Structure 1
Amino acid sequence: MFEPVILIAIATAFVLCVALSPLFIPMLHRMKFGQSIRDEGPKSHQKKSGTPTMGGIVVLISIVLTVFIVIAFVPQLELDYRIWLLLLVTVAFGLVGFLDDFIKVVMKRNLGLNSKQKLLAQLVVAAIFYFVLRQYEFSTSVHIPATSLSIDIGWLYLLLVAVMLVGASNAVNLTDGLDGLLAGTSAIAFGAFTVLAWAAGFTEVAIFSAAVVGAVLGFLVFNAHPAKVFMGDTGSLALGGAIAAIAILIEMEILLVLIGAVFVIETLSVIIQVTSYKLTKKRVFKMSPLHHHYELVGWSEWKVVIVFWVAGLIFAVLGVYIGVLDL
């Protein structure tokens, strides 16, 4: 009954993003919102300096507008608390990313918000998210995929929510390092959660997830190599928070690790690199996150992106298979 609505949500967000991006990109140019490239990054990236960033604004606008448009025109749907929570997390994390980008680009502080400021803001959003959930008597049980086992972790669910939202937002942020890499991998991951949310009966959540798929695919039109615009922390932090929130709201928390395995692996590569250097003064990878390692061993940027997309697709398909079997 609702299958066409999912396709309409994807198409609407795609068209909005494709239509709005040509308006925003010149504006970002005029405002000199160009990306600064770190000196310690791959030398091949220096030519990208000045490319407009903060393109995540267009992605967020496309997602929000699509959700309101689709739900407004389908009588059976409603703006329930899950949709409001998804919008809260996505927009709030996007605002944190916007501040980070603004400080980097406009105030010329290349590292943006410091880690404590960013973490505090993310934790505040996570706490609000959790306490709203509890007002609706949301279950604190965590299902173990591929089993019939669920464990009620009680108040520790607050800790899980915080770890998921903060961890996912930062993991997705780390993946945003090559043209089209994050747009493609996030489209795949959100596509998987669209299927799972739909199959589990969370129609409104599925529509939100589908809107994200359409928006990031629309953004990919301008972000594919050579990128005309970058997503920036505005987009990457918002997408990371959104995907974790979806996993929580459809009660498939653990599957986030599998479906978002590319993001997890990218994060682990950074942790391994930093830990190894601190303990032994030796580096495991030529550079972290992992996508930069493959660049430095001679892979073209496009080859790295395609391989990571394929890996993301394999993990997503496996995640959907396990998730559907559990229903």
Structure 2
Amino acid sequence: MIFLINKYLNFKIFTFISFRIIFSLLTSFCINLLVIPYFISYFKKIQKFQIIRIDGPIKHLDKNNIPTMGGIFIIISICLSVLLYCNLHNMYIWYVLFIILGYGLIGLLDDYKKIKCNNSIGLKIFWKFFWLSIIAILIIYVMYSNEKNNIYIELIIPFYHAIPLKINFFYIFLSYFVLLGSSNGVNLTDGLDGLAIMPVIFVSFGLGLIAFFSSDLNLINYINISYSDKASEMSVLCASIVGSGLGFLWFNIHPAKIFMGDVGSLSLGGALGIISILLHQELLLLLMGGIFVFETISVILQIIYFKVRKKRIFKMAPIHHHYEIKGLSEPIITIRFWIISFILLLIGIISLRIHDVI
């Protein structure tokens, strides 16, 4: 939209990427800030609230009067900002939007079924993973079918260097694993007020920074990032995620007035996954998104150990519930996880090591 305006008004400042990054962030932030209060009031009026797990922490039963599905407005604010400020001729933007909308739809169906059936089950795990996989496989196929120059396919190893790769089974499997892992990692982390959204903001900022510099041929000689003339446009999209996340956090911070639901967590996790794939920073996502990895591993370990030994490693999984049952208050757990996430972001940025200049 901003490029169309510039075509008729010839205001070149509108097309500067720094301008579009700032206004994309502010626009998505303001949309959530203005719209979410009405959504909260409406859901309270029709008595549609978050369905709390019966087997979860007892304290969480007090949250059964809080509206959910706030992720709808996270998606709306991101999409509107992208349509306004991004160059829509860039296919990378459409890849990310496809994942956001596709995974958001699956999350929406999951949330809707929970509310309709008045339980915390939602979609069965098999069908949830099935549809997430279908969307992942479809976008991976489209992406790599459109990839004309395989020289840009490479795996960047933090603190090391980039390894050129062909588009083969390994790389396709890695992309599939990143998409499903990131979406479910954010979904599992979204269990306390504000816990998931701040790490999403941090990781989006880190990926946006990388995207911003990815089209600079001079800079990539010194920093461990992959060159792409299309990637810099995703910095505008990442800014919209940061702004939307901040706008949602305004109402999601403890005590939360609204939850994002699966519609928000699956779409945001999927967005981080697809952006990291397009930037060839899949391994860096594991580092910067270490909180999501930690939460996911805690669930996997709990399940495996219980099946083998009939005992539990943690009092409850994901790991944030373990600390909650041990007596730590919700704000303390959340803020400490935020601190860890911020440190991981800094480590991730440092890992883009400066190459030796000869």
Q: TM-score, normalised on structure 1?
A: 0.94
Deviations 1:265-306 (A, max 9, x none): 000111111111111122111111111111111111000000
Deviations 1:129-160 (A, max 9, x none): 11221232164432222223414251322211
Shift of 1:12: 1.1
Equivalences for 1:131-142 in 2 at 5 Å?
131-137=141-147, 139=150, 140-142=153-155
3-state SS in 2 of match to 1:150:
strand
Tell me the equivalent position of 2:219.
none
Structure 2 residue runs of 5 or longer lacking an equivalent are: 1-15, 216-230
Q: How many residues align?
A: 322
What amino acid is the match of 1:53? Answer: T
3-state SS in 1 of match to 2:142:
helix
Moved runs in structure 1, 4+ residues, more than 4 A?
A: none
Tell me the equivalent position of 2:92.
82
Tell me the equivalent position of 1:182.
196
Tell me the equivalent position of 2:332.
303
3-state SS in 2 of match to 1:181:
coil
Larger radius of gyration: 2
RMSD of equivalent CA atoms: 1.7
Choose the corresponding residue for 1:272, options 301, 311, 316. Answer: 301
Q: Distance in 2 between matches of 1:32 and 1:263?
A: 32
Structure 1 residue runs of 5 or longer lacking an equivalent are: 72-76
What amino acid is the match of 1:58? Answer: F
Shift of 1:78: 4.0
Deviations 1:61-88 (A, max 9, x none): 00000111113xxxxx443110000000
Choose the corresponding residue for 1:218, options 247, 272, 289. Answer: 247
Residues 192, 316 of structure 1: 8 Å contact kept: yes
Equivalences for 1:232-311 in 2 at 5 Å?
232-311=261-340
Instruction: Name the % identity.
Output: 38
What amino acid is the match of 1:294? Answer: Y
Choose the corresponding residue for 1:127, options 137, 145, 150. Answer: 137
Q: Distance in 2 between matches of 1:91 and 1:13?
A: 16
Q: Distance in 2 between matches of 1:106 and 1:326?
A: 56
Residues 68, 260 of structure 2: 8 Å contact kept: yes
Q: Distance in 2 between matches of 1:236 and 1:326?
A: 36
Q: TM-score, normalised on structure 2?
A: 0.86
Choose the corresponding residue for 2:83, options 68, 81, 90. Answer: 68
Say whether residues 1:117 and 2:127 are aligned partners: yes
Residues 262, 311 of structure 1: 8 Å contact kept: yes
Residues 172, 240 of structure 1: 8 Å contact kept: yes
